[in-house]
Amino acid sequence: MTKSALFVSQTAEKGGAELFMLDLLAHGPRDWSGCFFEDGPAAKDLVAADRQPIVLSSGTNLSAVRREASALQMLGAAGTVWSLARELARTGKDYRAICANSQKALFVSALATRMIGRPLVWVLHDIITDPAFSRNTRRAAVLFANLFATRVVANSKATAQAFADAGGRSERVRIVYCGFDPAAHPQGTSAAGQALRRRFGLGDGPVVGLFGRLTPWKGQHVLFKALATLPAVQAVIVGSAMFGQDAYEAEVRQLATSEGLDDRVRFTGFQRDIADIMAGVDIVLHTSTHAEPFGRVVVEGMLAGRPVIATKGGGVNEIITEDCDGLLVPPSDPAALAAAIARLLTDRDFAARIAGAGRVTAVERFNISKTCADMAAVLDELS
Ligand code: UDP
Ligand code: GLC
């Protein structure tokens, strides 16, 4: 029997793009499957959810090629890409469509789908005009998408616009936002707040939470500069370095020390129970220094019924209506962030109003059932 769709990811680390794919597979039809180029936590989560993942065996040296790769490095990866494509083609022929969930997966899947005559969908999670992408990577990705992808699924209008700006064929683009299961996101309570303080050894004062990878563009350093001006405020920094980007963690820990924050900031490392931790903080923060393609943590904060302060730009502008269901601040502006935190801690009624409205927005607009339906509609267009 031919199954519906095979979602392909080069990494099995758990970044936002991979969590999007895991959510689709956990809540979508059973004939959607997940395929990884290496084993890791995301593949293991699928096993735990009784969705057997496919792990290809020829992929490991592709992880070393980063988004800022030179033409030479990309050429060096070509042999691995070819082996992976042949392996993927053998598995992929059981599916009606292949959905590549990352750029490296796009290159491999493009070749594999040519071998077996299946349509290709590229699920695009990045704003590819961002300077973090080398010109070569961006050009190669747009070229492959234009030549081989029947559809490009973008995680926000901002991501779709950047693809078009980079020369991508916009008539093929469909927007599918990340979605969540509200039942898996308890609303904050004072008991959750006390549990959080006990768990991380924090005092009775207010606690803000920053959730995400430790990497410069997620802006943990912006929060530390803001906290230096808010002596009563404590913080949990939830997340770890990922995808080989380890240098920033040492840097940002050093910054916390030099700003005198060691006794009121906790680095928790990667945590699985984000929803529970969010339910215990007073404010959920998002501090990205570049336009965020979507921003799962923003919606998760809203689902927790916590007031959210996020950086203006990118997909975040499509999630939050300013001063109604969240606050927006300019990127890389510690003074504006500190002022927004102080405002929510002073005006608790306003904070509660924002938080309540945020939960309603998140439940209504970013539900996993809608995400699965939107993805299914894209797949239906292929047949
Ligand atoms: N996350 C997690 N554990 C952590 C830190 C983050 O599970 O310790 C999750 C977080 O809940 C969110 C995702 O990682 O679902 C990050 O996605 P987002 O879109 O915010 O950013 P990305 O890292 O994909 O750019
Ligand atoms: C990427 C983006 C992030 C988005 C996630 C899921 O990792 O950086 O903004 O929320 O994908 O689409």
pLDDT band at 60 (very low <50, low <70, confident <90, very high): low
As a whole number of Å, the end-to-end CA separation of the chain is 16
Contact between 102 and 110 (Cβ < 8 Å): no
d(CA 97, CA 120): 6
Give me the chain's average pLDDT, please.
Answer: 94
Measured from the CA of 19, which atom of ligand 1 is nearest? 15
Nearest ligand (C-alpha, residue 41): 1
Q: What is the mean predicted confidence (pLDDT) over 120-142? A: 94
Domains, the chain, in order of start with CATH, read 3-179+367-380 (3.40.50.2000), 182-365 (3.40.50.2000)
What's the predicted TM-score (pTM) here? Answer: 0.95
Q: From the alpha carbon of 286, which atom of ligand 1 is closest?
A: 20
Confidence of residue 154 (pLDDT cuts 50, 70, 90): very high
The CA-based angle 322-323-325, given to 5 degrees, is 80
Per-residue pLDDT averaged across 43-67, rounded?
81
Regarding predicted confidence, which is higher, 346 or 64? 346
Is the minimum distance from the CB of 20 to ligand 2 under 6 angstroms? yes
- CA separation, residue 336 to residues 7, 234, 319 (Å): 40, 18, 20
Residues 207, 227: Cα–Cα separation, whole Å:
11
pLDDT tens figures, 220-229: 999 999 999 9
pLDDT digits (tens, 9 = 90+) for 345-362: 999 999 999 999 999 999
| 334 touches 261 (CB < 8 A) | no
Please tell me the residue having the least CA distance from ligand 2 atom 8. Answer: 293
Within 10 A of 316 (CB to CB), how many other CB atoms are there?
24
CA distance linking residue 42 with residue 55, whole number of Å: 11
Residue among 157, 294, 375 whose CB has most ligand 2 atoms within 8 A, to mutate: 294
> Mean pLDDT, to the nearest integer, of 91-113?
97
Cβ of 179 below 6 Å from ligand 2: no
Residue to substitute in 102, 124, 125 for testing ligand 2 pocket (most ligand atoms within 8 angstroms of CB): 125
**Ligand 1 pocket, residues with Cβ under 6 angstroms:** 14-17, 19, 211-213, 238-239, 270-271, 274, 294-297, 300
pLDDT of 243 reads 73
In the structure encoding, which two tokens stand for residue 49, read together? 């959810």
Select the more confidently predicted residue: 255 or 75: 255
pLDDT digits (tens, 9 = 90+) for 253-264: 999 999 999 999
Which of 124, 128, 297 to mutate to test ligand 1, by most ligand atoms within 8 A of the CB atom? 297
Range from 63-72, 82-91, 286-295 carrying the lowest mean pLDDT: 63-72
Q: Using a pLDDT cut of 70, give the percent of the chain over it.
A: 95
Residue type, 136: N
What is the pLDDT at residue 77? 73
